Amino acid sequence: MKDYNENLVPWQQINIVTEGGKGSIETYDNIEHMIWQTRSSSPTKYENNLGDALEIVLAETHELPEIVLKLNDLGIFSRDGSPFTEESFKQELSRLAEQ
């Protein structure tokens, strides 16, 4: 089983219908449950490390300055290897959200 949805298509307007069975996107006897259904590729090592670190940091604080400080203290830096700033961290999260 793949860990991402290689058939993911960009969001399209959904037409809501009131009749049962119409507009269904699934064939119920042929459903394959995928772990990363909204990803177009597997997470990179960098993304996994950042995610693991964020789990630790967010258990302690939710304030941006402290999050950035703790990530840098853990040795989790931006993709280019430089320590995060508040602005670079926000930009990185925006970049990752668009993948």
Q: Rounded distance, CA 16 to CA 46, Å? A: 39
The pLDDT score that the predictor gives to residue 35 is: 62
Q: Which residue bears the tokens 């970049």? A: 95
Tell me the residue range of the domain where 52 lies. Answer: 45-97
The pLDDT score that the predictor gives to residue 23 is: 57
The CA-atom distances, in angstroms, between 64 and each of 52, 70, 87 are: 17, 10, 10
Is there a domain that residue 92 lies in?
yes
Is there a domain that residue 22 lies in?
no
Is there a domain that residue 85 lies in?
yes
Count of structural domains, the chain? 1
Nearest to 57 by CA among 41, 69, 45: 69
Token duo for residue 8:
């993911």
In this prediction the pTM is: 0.62
Is there a domain that residue 36 lies in?
no
Per-10-residue mean pLDDT, the chain, length 99: 70 62 60 66 91 97 97 97 98 90
Is there a domain that residue 83 lies in?
yes
Is there a domain that residue 6 lies in?
no
Is there a domain that residue 67 lies in?
yes
